Amino acid sequence: MFRKTTMRRAVIEGLGIYLVGQSLTLAPISFWPAAIFPVILILRLALFILPPVWTAMRVKSTRREKMSRRFWALGPLMAVIATLISALIELFAGETGPLGGLKSAGPDIMRFGMSGPAGLTVGAFALGILSTFGLLLVYYTIAVILTRLANGGFLRFTMPAGNGRVTL
């Protein structure tokens, strides 16, 4: 019952999870009570890890399908869209710090062309987005592939015994 959705809906659900995780990073550290902040960090980590796994698990596939072209393309597709989401958040809200909250003087779109330490060049912005894309591309591709292989039973094999073949 859990794996009964289309690829499009699964991608939308996974990217929704990613968006919730990114929106949690916008809140500054002082917003959270001290007792809850470690839980928020773990939740943010889980919301970063979960989207490709959730998406790969939710897609309905045929009985014999383990890794088709659509699953090989799923990780890079999600990485591109998640990078676009991150770029939009940085452009219109600002760059976030590793523990949360905005670490820049304002939205990146307003910092283009400014001089001094608050200024931002297009090249620096593009380099930051490309590093985010590289991280997401590697992780999402590996996570989708391993999730699909784990769901398809990639550890099964038949021992080449004589009459009494055994499938493990």
Three-state DSSP class for 112?
strand
Asked if pLDDT for residue 55 goes beyond 90, the answer is: yes
Taking alpha carbons only, the member of 17, 20, 58 closest to residue 147 is 58
Distance CA 70, CA 159 (A): 31
User: What was the pLDDT predicted at 39?
Assistant: 94
- Please state whether the predicted TM-score (pTM) of the whole model is above 0.85: no
- Total number of residues shown for the chain: 168
Out of 16-30, 68-82, 95-109, 135-149, least confident range: 95-109
Residue 78 phi, psi dihedral angles, 5° rounding: -65, -35
Q: Half-sphere exposure (CA, 13 Å, Cβ side) for 120?
A: 19
